Each structure stands twice: as structure tokens, then as C-alpha cells.
A and B are shown apart, each in its own frame.
Chain A
């Protein structure tokens, strides 16, 4: 067993590794990250994850639900640290996995991967407490400066492979039968049972039928179901109108008024502390909002951006979807603007207080390489791909796995029930 594997085993048990090992790890990680561009290319299949925030036991739950590294190819969209009690273990484990399996895990930078933010929101204090000095915090911050700013997922399948997963609620199975339809969105619970399945809109002649279907679905009005409420397809969208075959841009926060092409992200000098303003800051801080154009962010950094901005950016850059994190969503994920952008949130019961569920987003691999040729392997009822090319491109098939916070004291790790603050 190598030192690295030993460190991984130790961190998996939620035990910090010694300072000298952290130094070595961070050095290796930097050597690796420096070779990555500002926008990392990632091939589907990939599982896209949002904020973790030091909730180590929930990260373990994420791996249980989504599969382990290296079996599953992961992309984490930043905010590994702060707020939770185990930022150190969470970040170091992810970093170890990155060094050990560089092609199976991608880490990009969140706005909390910053010296300034970590001194306010806990990671600095945690390092100080666990090591007695700020050295480890410093090593980690140096790694932060090398993290990529975004990732571009290519080769994602337009439709989900039909899975033989059982339905969580067998009575709803009939209403979600999609045998003769392609699956665009599927939501699974932590046990791998289907909570919700949404077929793709095929063409204009079918769209009225297809759009009325989700709105009349009984699931939509059921608050206990987490899937549909996060899916804009259930409310405003006529399914996806993204660009078929287009890539998926992953970034922690969102867009910037200074960035109209992905190539402009590639030109940034990223190896620095997150600035207070400018393109790099915006990518890590901005939020989509129901506005036209750009707006001021209440966060004091980054901007708010509306549907027109997203659609224009996606069109110009041949994207089918933007995946981002950064904002707590109670249902774990939330698609907006006709499914042109999605927020993925992976910290369940955030800060041990919010009561939310978490989600990860799986994008499948398109077997046909080209991205918009559908696999025609004899599946019953599959439609001709010519239908698709006629009406333009669809967004990737999206499988969301939704999960709760890890049960306390269940994994043989020092998991004292954390205390959340309230007003008393």
C-alpha cells in the first residue's frame, strides 16, 4: 500500500493526516493542477456535484449514492470547505483522490476556496484547532489558487439509458411510463429507486401533449417529492430546448458580464487569490435570477444574470446546459430558464440546520461519439434520430440522485452530533 493509499484510508476514516503529509500532498496536487487549463475538459460519463462545505459524513454518503472513486468519474464544483466541522478531512480526501486518480475526479474552485472567506467561515479556525498552527491552512490555500475555474463536459448522451431501477412509489409507475419515449430527466432517491421520470419532448406535434403531461402529473403537487420541484420542466419549460450535442459548462457561481465566450475564461490568469471583482470573481460568485440582463448581487460580489444572458451565452458557445452550485436549494437541484442552467447542491441538511436534501447530477456517455447521433442498438420504440436533427439540439439526459444527510454515528467515525446555532 502506497503512502497515498494509506492517507486515503486514514482520511476516509475522518482522521486528519500529519502536517508533513499535507505539505507533500499539496505540492503534488499543485504540480498536477498547474497543468490543467482554466477550463478543464471532461468526458462523459460524469457525476457533477455541488457544494460540500466540510460535511464529511455527507460526502461519504454522496460516494455511497453515486459510486466510489475511481469507479465513478466525478466533477466537484467547489466549496469543499467552510461551515461544516470537517472541512479539512473533506478537502484533503478529495485532493488525495485527485492525486491518486487524476483522470477520474475533477475539482474546480468555489468562492470559499479563498484565504479571505476561509478566515471568516471556519476553515482557518479548523486548521488552527486541528494542527495548532496555520501551516496546513496555508498549504491548502496555495492549492486553491491552482484550482481550475470551470469544466467543460463533452460527449454527454442526449437521452438517459433506460434503467431497470424500481419505482419508489409503484402506484406512480403508470403515469411515468416512458417505454416508447426517450428519457430526459430522471430523479432517483438514495436507494436508487425512481422518484420521477420525465420524457423528452420530441417535436412540435407532440409538444402540447407532452407539456400537459408533467403539469397534470400528481407528483408535481406533492411537496414530499423532491424531484419535480427542482425541475423547471414541471413548471415553465416545454422540456429542454438546449442545444443537442452541445457541451455542458460547469462553474461554481455563474456567468460574468466580462465573459461572452469560454475562450475568454481560458485567457484569465487564475493563479491568485479570488479577486474582489472582475471575471474570475464573477465566475465564482454570480447567481442566476428571474431578471432581464444583469443585476447587482446582494452578496456584494459577482452579479445576478437572467434567462436571456444564459440562453445567449449557451447559443454562442454551443452549450446545451450550464451546471453550477453556490446556492442552497432545498430540493438538492433546481433547473431554471427552460433547463438551460441547473443549480446542484450536495450538502444535505446544510450547516446541520437547513433540513434540505442534496443532489448529484449524472450525465451519461453518448455511445455515438458525435454527440447527436442516437444509439440505435435495437431498443424497442426508439425514434429516428433525424427527428432531432431537424428541430435542433437537445440538452443532455439528466439523472439526479437525491440524498439525505448521513445518519449520525453510523459509520464508525468520530461523528458527534454537531450543534447548529439558533436565536435563543
Chain B
């Protein structure tokens, strides 16, 4: 384990006596939470998963797994060097979603596109897209808890390079608006919405400023919907597919989340995260590749519903020379564990196209799905 994660025996004693810790040893902070935790505590635990992911991302960037000049600006914690197998997993996760997003954006590149990132947190994908595809027009929406959007917007405001990127895509820089409480950022192209995703299952469903109902849209959920109750998670997909972006506008979704909760590793994962107050509410319901496919199909992504675990994705989606590059970055000893870890996360992607046009069908025609699914639903 990297240094900041090894419990210091002295600090353990201090915290047992009620000593306060800030900023480090997040395990110690949460592991004491054996008492009944409030809903607010649980929400905070979910919100904090973003910083966890951001830390993993930074570790990958520092070591050369990923390229992302924008991530550093959003980091609130010093870079922690993660273990090689975690870096590998973060690399596969990010690269897998990048592949699907890139194929979407580069199919009919002149057409306006829309991306909705659920539980976006400090994700930098919008900025990476802007710098990679300067001529592509994309409306981008990020959703998260107000506490997370406020932090992100504050960072944007104090980081000239980020502001410049956003303004560059606008015809009139004054189109960029930030709410008084600084939890909303709106513009014709880039939007950050402070919305609790659970409100989609209440009526009326929230309205989303600047969301286009007629633009081909990709929904992203990178470890987001899994923290919601199954009914809430379904309500979000339902809202987007019906009221917010009705047919025939093409809509697709890319999910990245844990699967296979029933074996020893899966059971341990669920228990370990529960002790950190993180509950994977939809894990059992969508616990296999087959179940993920059925989920996408029955949600209304009727033209395609596919899934693969990240072990498969590392094997099949990443080019050999890129695999060699990544394998050479760090000495990785823990192969059996890496295999376990990678096979317990999946990417699922599904779409609803507009008749013959088949935008997503074309974009993802070559993306290989995993046939084998050894977990019996």
C-alpha cells in the first residue's frame, strides 16, 4: 500500500480517543463508522468516491498511463502513488470509455452531439474532448451533488486555462453563466447541473437547462447509477429515453460498474465498501454481463445492448503495442489479483438509433463484446 494508506499505530490510538484527522487516512475516518449512519453520511460517502477516483486518475497520469493536462487543476489532495494493479485498472476503465466516446464523436463528425455525464464529479472529459476535437460541436452536461459541483465550479473560476477552454467553444463569452450560489454553470455548450439524481423518480422530473431533445445523446455513468436504488437508477434512464429526449432522437448509454457480487471476491468487495458506508444498490440486480444486457434492452436501448468485463477489454480492446507500453510503465507482480479485480468490473453499452441512420450502430459496430458470462444470473 502506498504510504498514506498504512495506518499509523499512533494515530489509531489518537482517533480511538476521539482525536481528529483531516485529509489523510480516509480509511481510518470511515472505518470507525460502525454506528448507524445517517442518510447524510451515506450521501457524503458517495460524494467522496469522486475524490477517490480523482486520486486514482492522478496516479495514472503521473506515471504515464494516461494523458490528461486538466486533472491536476481539480485535485484537492496531493498525488498518491497507487499500486500498479490499481493503475492498470484505472487505465482500462478510462481507456474503455474513451474508446466508446471517441467512436461516437468521430462518426458523422459534422453533426451536433450531446453528452450527459451522470455523477461527473471532477471528471475532465469535456476538456479532453475540446482539446482533442477542436472542430467538433458537442453539448456537454455534467450532473452531480451540489457540494461536488460547487467545488468544481470554484476550480474552473480560478483556473484561467479551463475558463479559456470553455469560452473558446462559445460564440459570445458572456453566454457562460454561473449561478449565485455557484453550484450551476450554464452555457450553450458546457453545463454543470447541481442535481440530486434521485429526484428523477419524483414527479415532476427536473428540467435540464440547455438539454437538447433532438441531438444524438450519449449518457455516461462511471460508477454512478450503482449507488442509487434500482428504482431511482431506472427512472433516470427512463426519463432521458422518454420525456427528456423522446424517440426518434438517438440515445445511448455507457455504464462502468462492478459486477459478479456472488463469488468470494464479490462478496468481500460488497462488505468492504459497506464498511466505508458505500452501498452498491444495483449490484445484485445487474450482477452479470447477461443481466446488464437485459437491463439495457428493457430500459429502451433496443438497437444494441452489449457488455464486457474489464479483463476482456484489456485483452481485446487495447492494441498490442499499447499493451506493451502500459505493461512497461511499472513492474506488476500481482497477476492473479489483477485478473480478479478486472473481471469484477464491466462496461455495458446500449443504444437506440433513429431508423436506418444507425448513428450508434455504425459508431460501435467494431466494438467487441464478451460472449462468455460465467456467472449464472
A→B interface (CB under 8 Å): 15-16, 83, 85, 111-112, 117, 120-122, 125-126, 128-130, 298-301, 327-330, 349-356, 414, 416-424
Contact = CB atoms under 8 A, between A and B. Distances in A.
A350 B327 CA distance: 23
B7 A416 contact: yes
A424 B275 contact: no
Given A299-B332, A354-B265, A125 B337 contact: no
Interface string B188-222: 00000000000000000000000000000000000
Question: Interface SS of chain A: helix, strand, loop or mixed?
Answer: loop
Given A122-B1, A354-B265, A422 B258 contact: yes
B272 interface: yes
A125 B336 CA distance: 24
A301 B333 CA distance: 9
A328 B223 CA distance: 27
B26 interface: yes
B340 interface: yes
Contacts of A15: 9
Nearest to B29: A419
Interface of B: 1-3, 5-9, 12-13, 26-28, 30-31, 49-50, 52-53, 56, 82-84, 86, 89-90, 93, 223, 258, 263-269, 272-273, 275-276, 278, 327, 330-337, 340-341, 345
A337 B330 CA distance: 32
A300 B268 contact: no
A356 B50 CA distance: 29
Contacts of A130: 8-9
B53, B264, B332: residue with the most chain A Cβ atoms closer than 10 Å: B264
A416 B333 CA distance: 26
A70 B190 CA distance: 69
Nearest to A351: B337
Contact of A125 (B6, B26, B53, B267): B6
Contacts of B331: 117, 120, 299-301
A414 B12 contact: yes
Nearest to A79: B333
A121 B27 contact: no
Closest 4 CB pairs of A and B: A419-B27, A355-B264, A125-B3, A424-B49
Contact of B31 (A125, A298, A354, A419): A419
Contacts of A121: 83, 333
A414 B14 CA distance: 12
Contacts of B53: 423-424
B337 A354 contact: yes
A355 B337 CA distance: 11
Given A122-B6, A349-B268, A419-B276, A328 B336 contact: yes
26 contacts: A16-B9, A83-B1, A85-B7, A120-B331, A121-B333, A125-B2, A125-B6, A130-B8, A130-B9, A328-B337, A330-B264, A350-B337, A353-B341, A354-B264, A355-B265, A355-B266, A355-B269, A356-B264, A416-B27, A418-B7, A419-B5, A419-B30, A420-B272, A421-B83, A423-B53, A423-B345
